[in-house]
């Protein structure tokens, strides 16, 4: 059993153990705290959370079926015992973005050990009005919009059977967490909704995303600096911008990104498939190592495989100096399907620190029925197996 499967198996064991514990927990129904259907449950949720957090026994907070309103709220630990938040209904955010502190998230969980969020419910960010006010593509000092979820400094956490809908910004931000698992998690927003990334991960270790669906207006999953031991398994992505490492290098003192595995996924009608992106001519100088992408089906993906070390959206930088981010130990294996452009593989590495140990195995991408080609810069990949997309581009290397 490889490291990724061992990690996922351990995460699922934590899920099963936590579920068994919670079966015996005290139930805190928000209706007992004054929470009513079609009403504002902000105070009811805070009271229920405070009781659960103070309890020395495992607790379960229940939001029953129905529609409820919730203002911007933080649920903070440390807490004494495990807590499960079971959401059976739909929780709606205020529509007006001015009711939010855009620097924070709509719903924030911080400094908690053994947290579970479950139940099959939906968190509706009601982001349509906010999307129309998003001018960040033209304005560098634009007003920030709130995300649906902020998970900060959590340990041993499971989010399962939950849908995040129409977030005003990112659906989920994971920061400073250890051993956090998303399973049967859905992040849904229209393709034209700006910056609605599914899950963004930063400075966290042991993040598992399995059996989930992402259909958004930006990256399905993205990794910021300091992300380590992240596993993505059996995920459907699209529409959106694909699964991305980065962007990296824009800021000084960024931490390394390492050990990222993406397996058995379908990426459908996205701008990008699997991507690593770093800024040129910026102060950040760190490393990206151990990136592995395997058994991925691309369906009409504009850029199925891409390393872009000249990432500079909206002309917010120059390309006078190369990226300082060193990329190494990257593998793409059994990547098949259709490309929306004739260049199925684009590897634009830094001239200052060229990519090393890049391996492409059994790549079979077609554009309009013909074999897609490759564009390479500052990289000499090792080619194995079929690699049809590279057959007319660079020599095949037999090992």
3-state helix, strand, coil in the chain (%, to 5): 15, 50, 40
Element (H, E) at 17: helix 3-22
Q: Which of 171, 200, 241, 292 is catalytic?
A: 241
Structure token digits, residue 306: 């891409």
DSSP code at position 43: H
Q: Tell me the backbone φ, ψ of residue 39, rounded to 5 degrees.
A: -110, 175
Which value, in Å, is the radius of gyration of the alpha carbons in the chain?
Answer: 22
Closest alpha carbon to 345 in 393, 296, 313: 393
| Calpha distance 1→112 (Å, rounded) | 31
Residue 116 and residue 179: Cα distance in Å, rounded? 12
Q: Does residue 200 carry a catalytic annotation?
A: no
Query: Which DSSP string corresponds to 70-107?
Result: --SEEEE---SS-EEEEE-SEEE--S-GGGS-TTSEEE
Closest to 358 measured CA to CA, from 298, 309, 303, 299 = 309
What distance separates the 2 farthest-apart alpha carbons in the chain? Answer: 70
Altogether, the residues listed in the chain come to a count of 399
Residue 131, SS3 per DSSP: helix
Whether cis (ω within 30° of 0) applies to the bond prior to 119 is no
Cis peptide preceding 134, ω within 30 of 0:
no
CB 349: neighbour CB atoms within 10 A?
Answer: 28
Please identify every residue annotated as catalytic: 241
């Amino acid at each position: 059993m490889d490291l990724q499967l061992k990690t996922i198996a351990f995460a699922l064991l934590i899920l099963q153990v936590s579920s068994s514990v919670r079966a015996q927990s005290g139930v805190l129904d928000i209706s007992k705290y004054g929470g009513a259907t079609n009403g504002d449950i902000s105070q009811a949720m805070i009271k229920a959370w405070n009781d659960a957090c103070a309890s020395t026994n495992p607790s379960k907070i229940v939001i029953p079926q129905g529609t409820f309103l919730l203002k911007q709220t933080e649920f903070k630990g440390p807490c004494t015992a495990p807590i499960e938040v079971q959401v059976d209904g739909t929780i709606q955010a205020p529509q007006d973005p001015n009711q939010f502190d855009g620097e924070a998230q709509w719903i924030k969980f911080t400094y908690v050990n053994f947290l579970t969020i479950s139940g099959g419910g939906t968190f509706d960010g009601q982001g349509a009005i906010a999307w129309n006010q998003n001018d960040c593509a033209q304005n560098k000092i634009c007003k920030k919009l709130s995300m649906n979820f902020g998970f900060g400094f959590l340990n041993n956490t499971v989010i399962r059977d939950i849908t995040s809908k129409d977030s005003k910004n990112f659906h989920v931000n994971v920061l400073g967490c250890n051993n956090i698992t998303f399973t049967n998690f859905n992040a849904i927003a229209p393709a034209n909704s700006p910056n609605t990334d599914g899950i963004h991960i930063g400075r966290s270790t042991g993040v598992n995303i399995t059996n989930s669906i992402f259909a958004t207006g930006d990256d399905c999953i993205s990794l910021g600096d300091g992300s380590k031991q992240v596993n993505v398994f059996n995920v459907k992505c699209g529409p959106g911008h694909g699964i991305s490492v980065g962007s990296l290098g824009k800021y000084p003192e960024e931490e390394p990104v390492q050990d990222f595995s993406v397996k058995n996924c379908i990426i459908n009608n996205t701008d990008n498939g699997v991507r690593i992106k770093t800024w040129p001519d910026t102060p950040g100088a760190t490393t990206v190592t151990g990136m592995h992408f395997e058994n991925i089906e691309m369906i009409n993906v504009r850029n199925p495989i891409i390393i872009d070390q000249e990432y500079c959206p909206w002309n917010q930088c120059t390309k006078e100096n190369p990226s300082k981010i060193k990329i190494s130990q990257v593998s793409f294996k059994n990547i098949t399907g259709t490309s929306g452009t004739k260049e199925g593989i684009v590897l634009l590495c830094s001239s200052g620190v060229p990519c090393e140990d890049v391996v492409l195995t059994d790549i079979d991408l077609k554009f309009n029925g013909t074999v897609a080609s490759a564009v390479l810069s500052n990289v000499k990949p090792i080619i194995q197996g079929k690699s049809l997309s590279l057959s007319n581009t660079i020599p095949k290397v037999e090992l």
